[in-house]
């Protein structure tokens, strides 16, 4: 299989211009594998390989590519090829493509579409960004409740070829109000002279087109669905969202959250496709903020310089205390952010979070505090130093645990992304406040 050929072999095929072998190999490979190969190639070779893909497979490969690679291919091939390509794309994939392309190129592609499909694309693009309306496809199969099963089968055979899925058939009235969703299995097992209403249970789950895409994910996960009908605010069926589209959204959200929690401004394309300058630009902003925030920590240490001069052993425990505080805050924030994302936790439960995290923080603080007390007692400073660092560990742990768990809830309350409380930023804040707790306790105990 071509997908198993090592990169040097692919380069050799391209260098020898053995197009016949390459074209034959591409015909045997899955669209996902071809997309992976194209991603690894230089732009001119990527376009060349794409042109050699069999026509019946090109659209599927195109759907698997990164937005930047899609744009590259669209700018290098002829209008007639572009027209054939985007006409074959499903409406949801086409909408996703138009969202990621520059406005001028999007307008060009829209003008290449037939009037009916251009109208459909413009309607989908009219929904708010990240809404279910941008994700849905209007290609589904719907039947009427008064039809016989035989007539429904004829309808399914006629329109099912162009549908996104026929695993679920929808029942609508004369005004296209959604009445039910029926698995195709129930049609197959029914008698041909039965009416569609005879196999309806009038129980279905739907979502409005203006809802956030993450809400669709939560519903699909909760009810273990493969496809979710989309309605307008009057209950009219206007499209469906399939689980594969939702998984793409979830993957994008996970990538974005990972980037944010590492103090990196999110970017859509893959690391391999991102330029050196873009990676620099996405990272330097947060690093400058963190650097300036770190100035507070150094200022706090400078402010308590007299305490360090009086009891030099206090300096030995600074790295242990601030690192522990940062680790604890990162742990608690990660748990809360994940719980909020999956719907396991809501902002209404903030008080239960405080109670739970206070108890957990106290248990962790006492455990770590005892270890640090023993370290201070036997290693440096004796019992007084041990008491100070042990108490400081308890205080820092409680504070870090509460800060890490409550800040994501506060941000969610104000409709901000809790992932912006990234580990580096949270750690930097905890460092500064932890030093204040530590030196304040030392000042009290040693009467400085």
- Which long-range CB contacts under 8 A does 56-63 form with residues at least 24 apart? 57/26, 57/27, 57/31, 58/85, 58/88, 59/85, 59/88, 59/89, 60/31, 61/31, 61/34, 61/35, 62/89, 63/31, 63/89, 63/90, 63/93
Q: Report pLDDT for 437.
A: 94
CA 15 to chain centre: 39
Q: Report pLDDT for 148.
A: 96
Cβ proximity of 427 and 332 under 8 Å: no
Give the three-class secondary structure for 143. strand
Residue 96 makes CB contacts below 8 A (sequence gap 6+) with 134, 135
Q: Report pLDDT for 51.
A: 85
**Domain ranges across the chain:** 2-130, 142-248, 276-446
Q: What is the architecture of the domain spanning 276-446?
A: Orthogonal Bundle (1.10)
Beta strand pairing call for 207-208 and 227-231: parallel
Regarding the domain delimited by 142-248, which CATH topology (the fold level of the hierarchy) does it fall under? CBS-domain (3.10.580)
Q: Report pLDDT for 296.
A: 82
Per-run averaged pLDDT (10 residues), the chain, 448 residues = 47 79 84 86 85 86 86 82 83 81 74 78 80 88 96 94 90 94 95 96 93 89 93 90 84 64 56 73 77 82 86 88 89 84 79 89 94 86 88 94 88 74 74 92 88
Q: Report pLDDT for 89.
A: 86
Q: Report pLDDT for 258.
A: 60
Using CA atoms, how far apart are residues 161 and 404, in angstroms rounded to an integer?
51
First to last CA, the chain: 75
Q: Which helix (H) or strand (E) holds 428?
A: helix 423-446
Q: From 195, 26, 185, 209, select the one nearest 134 (Cα to Cα).
A: 209
Q: What is the architecture of the domain spanning 2-130?
A: Alpha Horseshoe (1.25)
- Residue 272, Cβ density class (10 Å: 0-12 exposed, 13-18 middle, ≥19 buried): exposed
pTM above 0.75, yes or no: no
């Amino acid at each position: 299989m071509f997908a198993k050929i090592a990169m040097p072999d692919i380069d050799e095929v391209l260098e020898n211009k053995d197009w016949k072998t390459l074209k034959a190999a591409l015909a045997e490979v899955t669209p996902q594998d071809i997309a992976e190969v194209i991603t690894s190639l230089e732009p001119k070779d990527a376009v060349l390989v794409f042109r050699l893909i069999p026509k019946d497979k090109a659209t599927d490969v195109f759907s698997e590519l990164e937005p930047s690679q899609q744009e590259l291919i669209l700018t290098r091939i002829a209008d007639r090829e572009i027209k054939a390509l985007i006409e074959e794309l499903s409406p949801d994939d086409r909408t996703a493509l138009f969202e990621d392309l520059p406005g001028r190129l999007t307008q060009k592609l829209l003008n290449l579409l037939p009037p009916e499909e251009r109208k459909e694309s413009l309607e989908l693009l009219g929904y708010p960004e990240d809404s279910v309306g941008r994700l849905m496809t209007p290609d589904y199969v719907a039947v009427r409740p008064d039809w016989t099963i035989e007539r429904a089968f004829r309808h399914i055979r006629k329109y099912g070829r162009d549908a996104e899925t026929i695993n679920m058939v929808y029942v609508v009235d004369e005004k296209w109000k959604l009445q039910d969703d029926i698995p195709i299995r129930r049609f197959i097992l029914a008698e041909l002279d039965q009416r569609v209403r005879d196999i309806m249970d009038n129980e279905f789950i739907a979502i409005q087109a203006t809802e956030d895409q993450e809400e669709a994910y939560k519903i699909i996960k909760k009810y273990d669905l493969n496809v979710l009908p989309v309605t307008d605010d009057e209950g009219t069926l206007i499209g469906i969202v399939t689980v594969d589209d939702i998984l793409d959204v979830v993957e994008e959200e996970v990538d974005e959250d990972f980037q944010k929690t590492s103090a990196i401004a999110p970017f859509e394309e893959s690391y391999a496709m991102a330029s050196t300058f873009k990676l620099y630009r996405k990272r330097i902003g947060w690093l400058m903020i963190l650097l300036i925030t770190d100035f507070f920590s150094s200022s706090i240490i400078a402010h308590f310089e007299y305490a360090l001069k009086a009891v030099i052993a206090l300096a030995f425990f600074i790295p242990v205390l601030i690192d522990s505080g940062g680790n604890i805050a990162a742990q608690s924030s990660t748990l809360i952010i994940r719980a909020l994302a999956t719907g396991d936790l809501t902002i209404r439960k903030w008080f239960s979070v405080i109670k739970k995290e206070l108890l957990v923080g106290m248990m962790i603080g006492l455990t770590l505090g005892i270890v640090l007390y023993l370290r201070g007692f036997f290693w440096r400073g004796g019992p007084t130093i041990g008491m100070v660092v042990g108490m400081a560990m308890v205080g820092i742990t409680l504070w870090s645990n509460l800060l890490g768990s409550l800040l994501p809830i506060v941000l969610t309350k104000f409709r901000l992304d809790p992932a912006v409380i990234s580990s580096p930023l949270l750690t930097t804040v905890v460092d500064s406040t932890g030093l204040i707790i530590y030196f304040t306790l030392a000042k009290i105990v040693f009467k400085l």
